């Protein structure tokens, strides 16, 4: 997800899905709930889609995993 955000948006979004998932993965690894290289089949096989569009004067960022939207973030252009 971080790679997809960086490719489309030019950077990782602070507080966005990739950042939140990275924090959760770090906690899971620290407590032994998951290993460093583990990934679900969905993330591995289906991939992640990041799209950026403009509606009027608003920037809309949509991130999706396996057909489910994770985040729609909008902000006004200045």
Q: How confident is the model at residue 50 (pLDDT cuts 50, 70, 90)?
A: confident
Q: DSSP code of 78?
A: -
The rounded distance, in Å, linking the Cα atoms of 5 and 35 is 23
Buried b vs exposed e over 30-51: b needs ≥16 C-beta within 10 Å?
eeeeeeeeeeeeeeeeeebbbe
The rounded distance, in Å, linking the Cα atoms of 56 and 69 is 21
Q: How confident is the model at residue 72 (pLDDT cuts 50, 70, 90)?
A: low
> How many separate domains does the chain show?
1
The rounded distance, in Å, linking the Cα atoms of 71 and 78 is 22
pLDDT of residue 31: 92
pLDDT of residue 62: 81
Q: What is the pLDDT of residues 23-43, one digit of tens each?
A: 888 888 899 888 877 777 776
pLDDT of residue 74: 59
Determine if the pTM surpasses 0.75: no
């Amino acid at each position: 997800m971080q790679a997809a955000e960086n490719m489309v948006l030019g950077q990782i979004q602070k507080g966005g899905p990739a950042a939140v998932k990275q924090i959760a993965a770090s906690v899971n690894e620290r407590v032994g709930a998951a290993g460093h290289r583990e990934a679900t089949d969905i993330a591995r096989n289906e991939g992640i889609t990041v799209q950026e569009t403009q509606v009027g004067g608003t920037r809309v960022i949509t991130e999706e995993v396996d057909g489910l939207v994770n985040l729609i973030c909008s902000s006004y252009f200045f």
